[in-house]
A and B are shown apart, each in its own frame.
Chain A
Amino acid sequence: MQTSRGGRGIQCVVVTPETTVFDMTAEFVSLPLYDGQRGVGLGHAAFIGRLGAGEVRVTSKQAGTPAARFFVQGGFVEVAHDTVTVITQRAIAADAVDGQDARRELEQVQSTKAVGEEAIEARLAAADAARALARTASRSR
């Protein structure tokens, strides 16, 4: 396994289809994997994981700087050689998430009717995402 390289931090990159949203050195990154949060520190073993909907929290190396927080919905993460690459179709800075919008989204998802296995699954996933979005918004306040 890799060893930490003399005080260097983790390079954390968040990319969406449109642009690179975030690219910075961090000390610790918390990722919303499909089955729950997972923390990545220096020297973490290489892995590729599927992301669910939730918050990416990036704790900066410099003391005093607040952690960067993003809401991501689905996508993947690749961790290797102290580099965390989050690849997602939707990434919003947590401060930019509107709680009311999130709740509206949730209500809308809940009011739609799903017929068939796939549709039900898609509806559940959408509801989960909307809930996670609302949670992110409530934490930002």
Chain B
Amino acid sequence: MAKARALDRRRKSVRNIRKITRTMELIATARFKKAMDRSVAARDYTKHLAKILENIAAVGADVAHPLLEIRPTTRTAVLVLTGNRGLCGGYNGNVVRQSLALLGQWRSEQVATHVAVSGKRGISALRFREITIDETYTTFEDKPEFAAVAPIGQAYLQAYASGAIDRLDVAYTRFESIAKQEAVTETLLPLAAPEAAGETATKAASDEYDFYPSAASILEEILPASFMARLFKCFLDAAVSEQVARMVAMKAATENAGGLIKSLSRQYNRARQSQITGEIMEILGGVEALKK
């Protein structure tokens, strides 16, 4: 009986685990939908900013700005966006690996780095690898708010303007579609120059915009705003990707638990059956012995 009982106990615990993973999957699905809605809602802002930038570039304004100028990198900043929680497959690991590659590269080039990490998982993973972390954030969950991201962006802009950093890279998981998320490193500073290319540019130019106060002055204001929007998008993407990763991981875990329960049940039934057969044989043996 001992073996059958042990199997039964294991089966019960796997059932409990399945309940938990199933619930986590459902929660992640709900959170993913919300995060996705926020991400979609945020796209309008970036789209409109890009349109204005295009228009400015189309009128041929002088697009020289400190944020656009590429300087030799002597001090750089790295921002790593991970989750506060695990149980989401390779999500955190991939971002950490991405950031380690980047940090290794800067170290080999002997560039001083300022490292900021968001998410408990990333913080502990990088600390374990003995990397000095200058700044940590643990408040970003599935709903990053612009008001919370803005001070971080402001600080980077100031550091860039004062020459404290020459470059900013963000390691995060880019959300491309529900089936594809990729851990990437994106350079946010210096900003990529606005382009007025092809059909859109000629169309925009024909609109003959007036600029108040001037195209240059608007450009000066719009570049920090577009940097902020890009930084915010990184946070939003990371949040959406985390939920997708958790959803997928928990779905797989639930399915695995189902398979395990099936095979444990089979083993349990076999053990029980053989035990019953053994008992019958014992009784029959007893009867035979009494007959004699």
A40 → B minimal CB distance (Å): 12
Complex Cα–Cα for A139 and B215 (A): 33
Residues of A contacting B211 in the complex (Cβ-Cβ under 8 angstroms): 47-49
A85 touches B146 (CB 8 A): no
Residues of B contacting A34 in the complex (Cβ-Cβ under 8 angstroms): 212-213
20 contacts between A and B (CB under 8 A): A13-B44, A15-B48, A17-B146, A17-B229, A18-B41, A34-B212, A35-B212, A47-B209, A47-B212, A48-B209, A49-B211, A49-B212, A49-B218, A50-B218, A74-B221, A76-B218, A76-B222, A85-B48, A87-B49, A89-B146
Complex Cα–Cα for A74 and B229 (A): 14
Q: Is A114 an interface residue (CB 8 A)?
A: no
In chain A, positions 46-62 with a C-beta closer than 8 Å to chain B are 46-50
Residues of A contacting B218 in the complex (Cβ-Cβ under 8 angstroms): 48-50, 76
A131 → B minimal CB distance (Å): 20
Complex Cα–Cα for A20 and B45 (A): 8
A17 touches B232 (CB 8 A): yes
A-B pairs, 10 with minimum CB distance: A49-B212, A47-B210, A19-B41, A17-B146, A15-B44, A15-B45, A17-B45, A46-B207, A87-B48, A46-B209
The one of A16, A18, A33, A76 in contact with B52, judged by C-beta atoms closer than 8 angstroms, is: A76
Q: A35-51 interface mask toward B, CB cutoff 8 Å, 1 = contact, 0 = none? A: 10000000001111110
A89 touches B210 (CB 8 A): no
B217 touches A50 (CB 8 A): yes
Residues of B contacting A19 in the complex (Cβ-Cβ under 8 angstroms): 38, 41-42, 44
B146 touches A18 (CB 8 A): yes
In chain B, positions 217-262 with a C-beta closer than 8 Å to chain A are 217-218, 221-222, 225, 228-229, 232
Q: Is B135 an interface residue (CB 8 A)?
A: no
Complex Cα–Cα for A47 and B48 (A): 14
- Tell me whether A75 and B213 are in contact in the complex, defined as CB-CB below 8 angstroms, given that A15-B44, A80-B207, A87-B48 are known contacts: no
Complex Cα–Cα for A34 and B212 (A): 8
B228 touches A89 (CB 8 A): yes
Complex Cα–Cα for A49 and B222 (A): 11
Complex Cα–Cα for A18 and B48 (A): 13
Complex Cα–Cα for A50 and B217 (A): 8
Q: Is B199 an interface residue (CB 8 A)?
A: no
